[in-house]
């Protein structure tokens, strides 16, 4: 088995990510930076593949191009599915929207889009530090909430 094949097998405790982008230089940049952060990465091949992967695997980070599969942001089925997920389930994912027109770390736009973070394509070279900071803030914010849910489920 080669290294590429091994990176698609998730073991308990692995940091996992799903990248929903068309194969391109930008996808390679995002994947390389996620790998540098020790994430095991899956790529969404098409909408149905992504939806199946989301129902099969737990991904800590989900990166979605606003124009994934050649549709505009409003017609982006993957983005809509992430937004529709139940609150507790949705909060288990850190959703990053890659945009050509929204600004990186624009929290109001992220709120409006129902995602955790926005990264502009012009800032992909800085994806790694932007994501690291965003995930750390997300964990700090939702840790008490997720701990309370787990405690309630255990009792």
Q: How far apart are CA 135 and CA 94, in angstroms?
A: 7
In this predicted structure, what is the pLDDT of residue 1? 33
**pLDDT digits (tens), the chain, 155 positions:** 333 444 556 777 789 999 999 889 999 999 999 999 999 999 998 989 998 998 888 899 999 999 988 877 777 888 888 877 766 566 678 999 999 999 999 999 999 988 999 999 999 999 999 999 999 988 888 778 777 878 888 87
73 domain residue, yes or no: yes
Inside any domain, residue 4: no
Count of the separate structural domains present in the chain: 1
Q: Indicate which CATH number applies to the domain containing 41.
A: 3.40.50.2300
Is 71 domain-assigned? yes
Helix axes 77-84, 47-56, angle to 10 degrees: 30
Domain range spanning residue 116? 15-154
**Residue 146 belongs to some domain of the structure:** yes
The confidence score (pLDDT) of residue 87 equals: 63
pTM of the entire predicted model: 0.84
């Amino acid at each position: 088995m080669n290294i590429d094949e091994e990176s698609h097998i998730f073991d308990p405790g692995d940091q996992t990510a799903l990248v929903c982008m068309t194969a391109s230089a930008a996808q390679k940049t995002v994947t390389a930076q996620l790998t540098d952060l020790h994430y095991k990465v899956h790529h969404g091949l098409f909408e149905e593949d992504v939806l199946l992967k989301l129902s099969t695997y737990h991904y800590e980070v989900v990166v979605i191009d606003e124009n994934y599969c050649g549709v505009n942001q409003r017609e982006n089925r993957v983005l809509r599915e992430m937004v529709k997920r139940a609150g507790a389930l949705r909060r288990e994912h850190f959703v990053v929207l890659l945009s050509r027109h929204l600004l990186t770390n624009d929290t109001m736009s992220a709120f409006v889009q129902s995602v955790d973070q926005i990264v502009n394509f012009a800032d992909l070279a800085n994806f790694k530090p932007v994501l690291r900071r965003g995930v750390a803030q997300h964990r700090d914010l939702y840790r008490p909430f997720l701990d309370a849910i787990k405690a309630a489920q255990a009792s």
